[in-house]
Amino acid sequence: MTKAKTLLSAARLRTLPLSISGIIVGSAIAFSEGFFNGYILVFALLTTVGLQVLSNFANDYGDGVKGTDNEERVGPVRALQSGIISDKEMLIAMVITTLVTLISASVLIYISFKDTNLGLSLFFFLLGVAAVLAAIKYTVGNTAYGYRGLGDLFVFIFFGLVSVLGSYFLYTIQINFYVLFPAVTVGLLSVGVLNLNNMRDFESDRRASKNTLVVKIGLEKAKKYHITILVIAMISSITYLLLTFNHAVNLFFLLSYIPIILHLNRVLTNKDPKLLDPELKRLALSTFLFALLFLASYNIFL
């Protein structure tokens, strides 16, 4: 495999639908309230994709230099693990991705606020910098929070709250408390994907002293935790539905619960965490399906 193909593989394009789900949901609510700006949508998606690719590169780099990615790891071989990409080359890819992402974020902020609100512009730029740092520090460095069981918290904040609430605010320049409920849904579903990953990698992470939440609490409690957060995720979006219901078509997004419930059953009956690998893709795509159906549920008749 060439270096270019290896880097493309390290970008893990299959994770992108999950990463943009929050943008779709936040945008859907803004659209339903009469706010639409195609430029905001495009640059919000580009910025989010950049952050996700950066996170994937950083994860590959951090786990690679620490030796966490080894022959015991279940899942595809990483770029550094394969030896095709050096740690220096991955660092260069991370720097380039960071610069492109921050440029995209700056354009997004300018489109939203122009030069009329410097305070909000600065706040969102600092939020973008924080997102970049969070993407990098998950596995990189001696203080990597992913090695201390804090990955779930950061995923919930940035994939859920920041993504949904932030994108909604960029369109509307206003706060809507109800938006918190679908933001919690996307955040917890995203945490579920990370939890599956950590359950799958439980043995290799434990041996490498990568103290994820799963390593800290054990597999049985991790399974109960997984079921709990996904149930809360579904309840949260139902709460939003009850608060905003005005047409039967608003029920449409509930169809996305079908694959999630089937997924929960498979996790509940699982005996070997290594066999959970296919469930990562299924839950990620179920989250993306939720976002698309949510968009249709509140905008199909506009």
DSSP state of 141: S
Give the length of the chain. Answer: 302
Amino acid occupying residue 261: I
pLDDT at res. 4: 72
Separation CA 204–CA 200 (nearest Å)? 9
CA angle 208, 214, 218 (to 5 degrees): 100
Asked whether the beta carbons of 136 and 93 are under 8 A apart, the reply is no
What are the phi and psi torsion angles at 12 (to 5°)? Answer: 50, 65
pLDDT by residue, tens only, the chain of 302 residues:
676 777 677 777 888 999 999 999 999 999 999 999 999 999 999 999 999 999 888 887 777 665 555 455 455 555 666 667 777 888 888 899 999 999 999 999 999 998 778 899 999 999 999 999 998 888 787 778 888 888 999 999 999 999 999 999 999 999 999 999 999 999 999 999 999 999 998 888 888 888 899 999 999 999 999 999 999 999 999 999 999 999 999 999 999 999 999 999 999 998 888 889 899 999 999 999 999 999 999 997 65
Amino acid occupying residue 284: A
pLDDT at res. 110: 95
pLDDT at res. 239: 98
Contacts of residue 44, Cβ cutoff 8 Å, sequence gap at least 6:
23, 27, 108, 167, 170
DSSP state of 287: H
pLDDT at res. 115: 74
Asked whether the beta carbons of 214 and 224 are under 8 A apart, the reply is no
Q: Is the pTM of this model over 0.95?
A: no
pLDDT at res. 207: 84
DSSP state of 119: H
Query: CA gyration radius for the chain?
Result: 19
| Sequence-ordered strand ranges (E) for the chain | none
pLDDT at res. 46: 96
Burial of 2 by CB count in 10 Å (0-12 exposed, 13-18 middle, 19+ buried)?
Answer: exposed
